Amino acid sequence: MEQAEQFDRQGMTLLLGAPGSGKTTFLKALAGKLDLSLKRKGKLMYNGVEVNSSTPQHLHAYISQYDLHHAEMTVRETIDFASNMLGTNNEFEMIGEAARRKHDVVNEVDKNLDSLCRLPHLEKEETLQQTTLSILGLSECTDTLVGDEMRRGISGGQKKRLTIGEMLVGLAKCFFMDDISTGLDSSTTYEIIKVIQQMVHLLDLTVVISLLQPPPETLELFDDIILLCEGQIVYQGPRENATDFFEIMGFKCPGRKNIADFLQEVTSKMDQKQYWIGEQHMYHYHSIEKFVVSFHSSYLPRLVQDNLLLPNSNIVNGEVVKTGSGLSRWNIFKACFSREVLLLKRNSPIHIFTTIQITILALVISTIFLRTNMNHKSILDANKYVGALFIAVMLVNFNGMIEIAMTIKRLPTFYKQRELLALPGWALLTPNFLLSIPISLMQTGLWTSLTYYVIGYAPSFIRYS
């Protein structure tokens, strides 16, 4: 990435670029999510303060293009867990002040937020998640399972809204959303962007969204545009001035042409010539480097800088918050333990099936190694007991394979939550380990009770226990 500029502290910016132009890398760099092994140079600053490892995670949020959730949980339960992990139940009072400052904005979002801010303190914590779901249009599916390929759940557009809602309850001031229109139709994309636009102008948020081919009605919802080509910013500025810049360069967008498509094609060597408005014999290919130099020598970069110099009542002494959410390890453990108990209940048919399987196999093995045929006279007799023990160990291992498969399936969601919700590894491992102990003891106890005396092991109770 080269020559990245500033972003308006209150507005929506559209990030345009062809696949492979570096959009995801750019957004991850802004959100501080790049791999530490990558070589970087330059500074990332919020309100003039450089971002480092001590900067609170809840100041910014990166939303991936992939919707990774636990299929067994409902929409409300997913939002509740994200809210608990981000520790922001007591910070939602700031929204009331923002809603009261914007008397000119009257819509459903304002009404929902205003009703929340009038509630007592304890009821605010209970209503936070419901208000977020109402803002995102998820009220009708709050108790519906998220679902996956094997389990029926919410639609793709609702999953995308849920992904945004997970980060929205964290009350971050900067959101970086990567290709959130993936797998969605244009109507659903427009509805989601419209909701985000209302939140941006109500809460003074900074949002950067990358879209591949936004339709004209969606494009009009954005305040600024960034055109990214081969890792370089070709244009950054107001949406209204985007076509003017390229017209100065000699390229004009046709009247019926989608502006977003024009901006991505005008830098392409294959499609650039069709937009040339000068004499055809005077046309020559304008490289990306030439566009970059022309942009930085124009008046447009100064427009962005002048906009940042405007006063903002939300900034105090130009500093960012230095303290995080203060979520203790005990609260993290309680949130994760409650979720594991919930997932255990939802997956109870699997554990019931394994219990029935163990019971049936224990009866079968008992008849194979019946004690009337199990003598204690020779090494060959001992081999029969070893065979019975080997089968028991193998069956226990095979039952454990089910748990391994379930854990592997949850890994992508865990990696996302570890990165975005600051979920530590021990918080997932410890509750899972504690809850697996009684299940393992129950299954092994059931197997031993059904096979021990029938097979003819040592009759001593001490050896049995």
Closest CA to 176 of 319, 4, 382, 328: 4
Note the maximum CA span of the chain: 105
- The contacts of residue 85 (CB under 8 Å, 6+ apart) are 327, 332, 335, 417, 421, 422, 423
Task: Give span(s): CATH 3.40.50.300, the chain.
Answer: 11-308
Asked if 140 and 131 touch (Cβ cutoff 8 Å), the reply is no
Give 75: exposed, middle or buried? Use CB within 10 Å, 0-12, 13-18, 19+.
Answer: buried
The arrangement of strands across the sheet holding 206-210 comes to 60-63, 174-178, 206-210, 11-16, 224-229, 232-238
Residue 359 pLDDT: 92
Instruction: Count the neighbouring beta carbons within 10 Å of the beta carbon of residue 247.
Output: 13
Beta strand 174-178 with 60-63: parallel, antiparallel or unpaired? parallel
**H or E element in which residue 107 lies:** none
> Using CA atoms, how far apart are residues 451 and 448, in angstroms rounded to an integer?
5
140 and 163 Cβ atoms separated by less than 8 Å: no
The pLDDT value recorded for residue 199 is: 79
User: What is the rounded CA–CA span in Å between residue 8 and residue 29?
Assistant: 17
Q: CA-CA distance, 145 to 445, in Å (whole number)? A: 34
Instruction: Please name the residue ranges forming H helices in 369-424.
Output: 379-420
- CATH number for region 11-308: 3.40.50.300
Q: What does 226-265 look like in DSSP terms, one character per residue?
A: EEEETTEEEEEEEGGGHHHHHHHTTB---TTS-HHHHHHH
CB 405 within 8 A of CB 350: no
Rounded Cα gap, residues 288 and 321, in angstroms: 39
Residue 457 contacts residue 463 (beta carbons within 8 Å): yes
Q: From CA 244, how far away is CA 259, in angstroms rounded?
A: 11
Task: Determine if residue 250 is left, alpha or beta; phi over 0 gives left, psi from -120 to 50 gives alpha, anything else beta.
Answer: left
Q: Give the pLDDT score at 106.
A: 47
Backbone angles phi, psi at 32, to 5 degrees: 70, 30
Number of neighbours of residue 58 by Cβ within 10 angstroms? 22
The DSSP bridge partners found for residue 63 are: 177
Separation CA 465–CA 455 (nearest Å): 16
**What is the number of residues in the chain?**
465
User: For residue 60, what pLDDT is reported?
Assistant: 79
| Residue 66 token pair | 């992939």
pLDDT of amino acid 100:
53
Predicted local distance difference test score (pLDDT) of residue 324: 47
Give the pLDDT score at 317.
Answer: 43
b or e along 251-263 (b: 16 or more beta carbons within 10 Å of the residue's beta carbon)?
Answer: bbbeeeebbbbbb
Taking the model in full, what pTM does it have?
A: 0.75
The percent helix, strand, coil of the chain (3-state, each to 5) is 55, 10, 35
Given a contact cutoff of 8 angstroms between Cβ atoms, the answer to whether 336 and 428 are in contact is yes
- What are the C-alpha distances in Å from 214 to residues 50, 104, 164, 201? 33, 28, 18, 21
pLDDT confidence of residue 318:
45
Tell me, what amino acid is at 321? V
| Per-residue pLDDT tens over the stretch 131-189 | 778 877 888 888 999 998 888 999 888 888 898 888 877 767 888 998 888 777 888 88
Report residue 451 as tokens: 């096979």
Q: Report, as ranges of residue numbers, the positions in the chain whose pLDDT lies below 70.
A: 1-10, 47-48, 51-58, 87-128, 171, 299-326, 372-374, 464-465
Q: Are 95 and 117 in contact (CB under 8 A)?
A: yes
pLDDT of residue 341: 94
Residue 70's pLDDT is 92
